[in-house]
Amino acid sequence: MLSKQFSLTMTWFIFIVLLVLSVRPAYAEWLIVSIMEDGTTVYIDSETLRHQGNVVTMWVLFDSPGMKVMDGISSRSMRAQFEIDCVQELYRSLAVTRFSGNMATGKVVSNAAGKGKWAPVAPKTVAKMLMNSQCKE
């Protein structure tokens, strides 16, 4: 009887271990793409890259070493979804959320969604760097 109970316990134990090991974390796969002069690290979520024709859509995270003030609001990090038109060399934001903590943590201090206006990709900008890295000829 003890042997049968031990076998059943081991079977359940192995099943639970395999289940736990097969679960993949549900967080973004942030990859560093640049570190700006002010120390802000720019990341891209490689799992959200979407290419549709000439347009690439991506999530980008800006993580600052200290508080930054934009439009009168202080934040340490910002997560934004961008679209880049590789042929026209234009970009626009689709969503922007700013956080009080690093790496998109802490309190949400501002949130905006909606398709922004297309703007030209200027030289020596994060948009240009993202376009160069994601737009293939």
pLDDT digits (tens, 9 = 90+) for 87-125: 999 999 999 999 999 999 999 999 999 999 999 999 999
CA atoms within 13 A on the CB side of 76: 10
Q: Would you kindly state where each structural domain of the chain is located, as residue ranges?
A: 30-134
| Maximum Cα interatomic distance, the chain, rounded to a whole number of Å | 76
Q: Who has greater pLDDT, 26 or 130? A: 130
Cα 107 to Cα 67: distance, rounded to the nearest angstrom = 13
Q: Who has greater pLDDT, 4 or 90? A: 90
Grade residue 8 by pLDDT with cuts at 50, 70 and 90: low
3-class state of residue 1 by DSSP? coil
CATH number of 30-134: 2.40.128.710
Cα 108 to Cα 124: distance, rounded to the nearest angstrom = 29
Cα 67 to Cα 7: distance, rounded to the nearest angstrom = 57
| DSSP of 6-60 | HHHHHHHHHHHHHHHHHPPP-S--EEEEEE-TTS-EEEEEGGG-EEETTEEEEEE
